[in-house]
Amino acid sequence: MLLVVLAAIAEMFIDYVFKARASASAADQEALLRFFAVVYTGIGVLTVGLQAFATRPALQRLGLARTASLLPAVTAVGGAGALVAPGLWTATGARVGEIVTRNSLYRSAFEVLFTPLSPRDKRATKSLIDVGVVRLGDVVGSVLVQGVLLMTVTAALPVMLGLAIAFSAVAFWVSLRLHRGYVRSLERSLLSQANDLEVKEITDLTTRTAFMETLGAVDLSVLRAAVETQPPRDEPRREEAPAAGALEPEVARAVELRSRDGERVRSALGHGTLTPGLVPQAIGLLAWNEVARDAIAALRLVAARHVGQLEDHLLDADEEFTVRRRIPLVLADVHTARVVRVLLDGLADPRFEVRYRCGRALNRIKGADPGITVGLDVVTAAVRREVAVDKGVWESRRLLDQLDDEEWSPVMDEVIRDRADRSLEHVFTLLALVLPRAPLKAAFHGLHTNDPMLRGTALEYLETALPEAVRGPLWPFLDDDRPGDRPRRPTKDVVDALLGSNQSIALNLEALRKRREEDGD
């Protein structure tokens, strides 16, 4: 955290000097824009080149801590050059060197430094550092820049360069101390033989080399002896850490899961129940289309014991979208109040397909366990969020996946699958959590017919069944073209008429489907 804060502050000073020199040297706004375009294009090219050709040798020869220390070192050297020879090009060189090093060498080492942490600790710590601590450094750096500008104007840029050099020097010293703390973390992880230690997941040669070079400071024979002589824990209902020899099958299975060979991965997923240490890898495999179904099947067998991990991945906005939209398929077979709460939280997700699959999973759980209830206020709030968009967004929503939840919809079936828009289906799926399913499904089908009477009956039912808080905002999306002076029938009569129209609705939809197929031919 200290390294990140110091590096961010130094970056603020270098960035200000660079932009100040550029603004002072540019003849006009257009020339300034051209200059920045050229510089940042060059930065992109240099970053790719350094990442491709220098990162591997640096990690292998310098190790993690010294590779990370290259960022403050380059920043300090660049700042010194800009201080000794003031001008646009030295300031540009300092800024380019800082950005390129940060996005290649530093970032590659920085990510691996989290390896000894358990997945849960890594998610919490890394998110805090990547977002909170970086923003803290930006704020502190901005305040210091303003302070320098208030105290001095004529010598502001040299002072900022001097401060950048000073902060970078401290950051360099801090980065070299990372090695000691990293080794201590590895020792603790190895002594505890924790399943969360991800050494077994490192298959990339460069990363493994850097990791093992750092590990060289640890006496593995002493650690092995310590592990073998540790007394068993007395904690009740907690799985004991396996002995060193017992880890071998799990390590082999982990290697298979990381092989990127579809057949090997599928075989490993189907080879018995997933252990706690393999669950994070299986969750990651949800993003791979070729093995996604196998990963879902394997995770369903252990989902009840790992709801917390699945929840973390589902609700983490930084998690890969493909993983997040497939986790509800795993949770749908766990019929507990906790899973219902997790899926209800998913109904507020920014991504439509995550919300859509959470709705289907909730209906599957409720269908399997009628004792599970969902509050009307929760469903009302979810529906109101769905309809709080313009019609263009409403009609543009599509699914990227078609997996094994196609039969889970309480209102959709094969006859109208090609006609129904997903937004309306999702809203009716949510409503099915609190309204009777049979008339709701009939109304949904009736809305997709071209018979005015059948559509009218469906709309009449929705008028009487939907709460006002839902009916008002939803109605503009239903294309109600009935006359305004129509008589109102009792709800029971409308429901009876709607259910009695089921056969007519089915025949109308089948005729529409056949006509569409003929037009397509």
Query: DSSP per residue over 336-362, as a string?
Result: SHHHHHHHHHHTT-SSHHHHHHHHHHH
Mean pLDDT by 10 residues, the chain (521 residues): 89 91 86 90 91 83 83 92 91 91 85 72 75 84 89 82 92 84 65 43 50 47 44 40 51 84 90 89 91 93 93 91 92 92 94 92 90 91 91 82 74 67 89 89 82 81 87 86 63 64 64 59 47
Q: Where are the alpha helices (DSSP H) in 152-258?
A: 156-192, 205-215, 220-229, 247-257
pLDDT at 69: 87
Is residue 83 a contact partner of residue 155, using CB atoms and an 8 Å limit?
no
What is the distance between the alpha carbons of residues 117 and 239, in angstroms, rounded to a whole number?
Answer: 19
Residue type, 429: T
Is residue 359 a contact partner of residue 426, using CB atoms and an 8 Å limit?
yes
Of 64, 66, 84, 58, whose CA–CA distance to 165 is shortest?
84
pLDDT at 237: 40
| Structure-token pair, residue 399 | 């699914």
pLDDT at 106: 86
Whole-prediction pTM value?
0.51
pLDDT at 446: 81
From residue 124, give the alpha-carbon distance in Å to each of 113, 121, 130, 136, 404: 15, 5, 10, 17, 32
